[in-house]
Amino acid sequence: MMTDARPIVTMRGICKRFGGVAALTDVDLDAYSGEVLAVVGDNGAGKSTLIKILTGVYQPTSGTMEMDGRPFEMNSHSDAIARGIDAVYQTLALADHLDAAANVFLGNELTRRIAGVTLLDNQRMRSEAERVLFERIGVRLPDMNAATESLSGGQRQAIAIARAVYHTDLRVLVMDEPTAALGPQETERTLNLIATLKAQGLAIILISHSLDDVFAISDRVLVMRRGRRAGVVNTAESTRQDVLGLIVGGNDAW
């Protein structure tokens, strides 16, 4: 549930056009600390475009964004990361042949200098990876030296999350279909990871096609349809049929 009266991030009247095609039209979004906001809708509803604007990958054609009540603009994903907004995508972007620590620090490796020579500080990266996995996510891997490709889906998800939370003062985390292709036990573990991050005060934006997951973990549901916001409901006060009705157009947009 929401812990702050004011959203961390507010998006108002967001429009995005690609040539003559309107991908988004007048979309609003609020993300609160300590809340899971699910974003649902059919393929092509505009979910991915909206999230790419939030994470700085796309710039909106029109509309405004605020963080902590102050207007801001982003020109790149790096701008979003600098503001504490990041994403873990369905592909996870892990290097399967590397171990957990190497993936947590991929592209941001820790180094040390010995006799004027710069070397990778593998010991520090391993200890820091172990620390952030356990302290922030509550996960201990059975073998930190194992190649990531040998780990379970939930463990791989934890490594991708650890990379996001370690390198920034993370405040908003977007998770794109985090349980896709996972079995029931791994899905439960991943939902527990999300609950752990929520309890730490992060705003979690969950993109999912699984209404079971949405109703298990989210506080509110933002429904997208044909590039517009079809509605927002409180999960505890709604049913799957309510959400499905908004997805397929059973209710007027509001």
The reported pLDDT for the residue numbered 136 is 87
101: helix, strand or coil: helix
Residues in the chain: 254
Number of H helices, E strands in the chain: 8, 12
Q: What is each CA distance from 191 to 89, 137, 144, 156, 184, in whole angstroms?
A: 15, 11, 22, 14, 11
The reported pLDDT for the residue numbered 250 is 54
Residues of the chain with pLDDT under 70: 1-4, 167-168, 250-254
Strands 228-234, 220-225: parallel, antiparallel or unpaired by DSSP? antiparallel
The reported pLDDT for the residue numbered 201 is 93
The reported pLDDT for the residue numbered 183 is 85
The reported pLDDT for the residue numbered 168 is 64
Q: What global pTM score does this model have?
A: 0.88
The reported pLDDT for the residue numbered 166 is 85
Task: Delineate the domains of the chain, giving CATH numbers in brackets.
Answer: 1-84+171-254 (3.40.50.300), 95-169 (no CATH)
Cα–Cα distance between 193 and 147 in angstroms, integer? Answer: 21
The reported pLDDT for the residue numbered 92 is 79
